Amino acid sequence: MPSPQPIYLCGPTAAGKSRLAAQLAARIGGEVVNADAFQLYRGLETLVAAPTSAETDLCPHHLFGVLDPAESCDAMRYRQLALPVIEEILHRGRTPVVTGGSGLYLKFLTHGPDPLPPGDPELRAQLDARPLDSLVEELRRLDPLEATRTPLSNRRYVSRALEICLLSGKRCSDLRDGWSRQSAAVDARLNGLVIIRERPDLHHRIALRTRAMLDGGAIDEVSAHRLSPTFAKAIGVPQIREYLAGEIDLETCFDRIAAATRQYAKRQETWFRRESWLKPLPWPPQADLPARFMEILGHDPGAP
């Protein structure tokens, strides 16, 4: 019998990931692992739409509410938190069902950080002070291949390619091609689904979630906590703070949160489309558990 492997269940905000992940894990003897940047925090469960008690009763859930709202977090720290949890679940012969919509967190978890050096402000300032023609000439000299596939009229792209060469001492093209090959090998081993909702259906679900969030205690959650710079970016926090300051009324707060959530969902959909390892899972309006999802994963839909 093959060893269990993690299943990644992704999708835009309000797509129904939490419910489906809990149902899937309960069906296959799995445990849910959070991959949402803001559901890592405790005390703001309404704001971040944390799993309900009905969902957490179906199977064990991990990495929900494990950070204080005043703590900062990033994709690397999330990877360090999640990998031991996943390994421990696998060690017990159970299947981790990793679910969330934070694309960068998922990418760091599945593929690790890319080998490209981070930007260097001092070097970037030096490059910014030079004419574009000078940057293009140096890039062509240091990395002719990368120069052929870089839009040379775009200063930002040329500067970044040249920065990578200068900081790493290697060709940017070699680093990027090596990372692409490594990522493709990882892709082939991953088992992932991305929920696809029709746009009007998703927007309706976003509106319902936003109303439930504001009516269910999110305003009190925001006012009661000191929030880290990480959490202060969460959709709903700036808008609720405006409401608490008397700058907008509640209906305007609702409209702004719903609009920001729709924009975020669109960015998520764009990110997931680029991830070829994720198999699309269409979820029509009003459907409960999509009939095809177990079939896509290679499980018998009729099995208990």
Bigger pLDDT: 304 vs 239: 239
Query: Above 70 in pLDDT, residue 1?
Result: no
- Taking residue 135's Cβ as centre, other Cβ atoms within 10 Å add up to 19
For the purposes of burial, counting CB atoms within 10 Å of the CB of 86, is it exposed (0-12), middle (13-18) or buried (19 or more)?
A: middle
Q: Is the pLDDT of residue 98 over 50?
A: yes
State whether CATH 3.40.50.300 applies to domain 7-114+185-296. yes
Average pLDDT on 184-196 reads 91
Dump pLDDT digits (tens) for 109-159. Answer: 999 988 889 888 999 999 999 999 999 999 999 999 999 999 999 999 999
**What average pLDDT does this structure show over 274-290?**
83
How high is the pLDDT of residue 122? 93
- Cα 43 from Cα 218, distance rounded (Å): 10
Boundaries of every domain in the chain: 7-114+185-296, 121-178
User: Using CA atoms, how far apart are residues 146 and 175, in angstroms rounded to an integer?
Assistant: 10
pLDDT value, residue 290: 62
CA neighbor of 36 nearest in space, from 19, 11, 57 = 11
Judge contact between 117 and 167, C-beta under 8 A: yes
Query: Of 36-40, 100-104, 116-120, 161-165, which gets the smallest average pLDDT?
Result: 116-120
DSSP string, 231-288: GGGSTTHHHHHHHHTTSS-HHHHHHHHHHHHHHHHHHHHHHHHH-TTEEEEE--TT-S
Question: Is pLDDT above 50 for 106?
Answer: yes
Sheet holding 95-100, edge to edge: 61-62, 30-34, 95-100, 7-10, 192-196, 278-282
Domain 121-178 annotated CATH 2.30.130.10: no
pTM of the model: 0.84
Looking at residue 294, its pLDDT comes to 62
End-to-end CA distance of the chain: 18
- CA dist 292 and 283 (Å) reads 10
The residues, ordered by sequence, that sit 6+ positions from 276 with a Cβ below 8 Å of its Cβ are 187
Say whether pLDDT at 303 is over 70.
Answer: no
